[in-house]
Amino acid sequence: MPSLVAVIVGSRSDLEVVQKAADILQKLGVGHELRVISAHRAPDLLDSYVTDAVKRGVKVFICAAGLAAHLPGVVASKTTLPVIGLPMPGQLAGGLDALLSIVQMPKGVPVATVGVGQAENAALLAAQMLGLSDASIARAVEGHRAEARSQVERDPTNEPTPEPART
């Protein structure tokens, strides 16, 4: 299956949080690939990877990073394809550092930002973007949403309230 989504993490230490994104993409049948490439430790590798991924047909990037978290912005600077930034939980206010760094992209080079550690949302947003032109992915996203809806509806607290006994 060709990769439509490239997931890049800044460090191996991000992998545990990001695994959920890969799991959701797998569940939805979206071809994807995962790379560990730090924007500050290996900028040239990141540059060549993004160029190659675009040539191979990747359509959306998910970039996870913590602390100064410049990875999503750097990737967005190298492509006009959509980039979704996933801030990693960190030591400073639980990841507020990465959240602000990613969401506060200066004008002209946007990064769509999900909540701190919200890997599932990053994957779903990527799938929704792809669903605009791929009916089978759009159906898979609908199915995932229906599961979530039904889970809430089936919660025991939502059982119909019994009629009061008539006297």
Instruction: Name the residues that contact ligand RP5, by CB under 6 A.
Output: 10-11, 13-14, 38, 65-67, 88
Query: Which C-beta is closer to ligand RP5: that of 114 or that of 140?
Result: 114
Contact 66, 37 (CB under 8 A): no
Nearest distance from C-beta of residue 39 to ligand RP5, angstroms: 7
Nearest distance from C-beta of residue 65 to ligand RP5, angstroms: 4
Query: Which C-beta is closer to ligand RP5: that of 88 or that of 137?
Result: 88
Contact 46, 6 (CB under 8 A): no
Nearest distance from C-beta of residue 8 to ligand RP5, angstroms: 10
Nearest distance from C-beta of residue 105 to ligand RP5, angstroms: 17
Q: Number of helices and strands (H, E) in the chain? A: 6, 5
Query: Which C-beta is closer to ligand RP5: that of 96 or that of 146?
Result: 96
Query: Which C-beta is closer to ligand RP5: that of 88 or that of 127?
Result: 88
Q: Which of 107, 61, 58, 52 minimizes the C-alpha distance to 82?
A: 61
For residue 36, the tally of other CB atoms under 10 A from its CB is 16
Which residues 6+ apart lie within 8 Å of 11 measured at CB? 36, 38, 65, 66
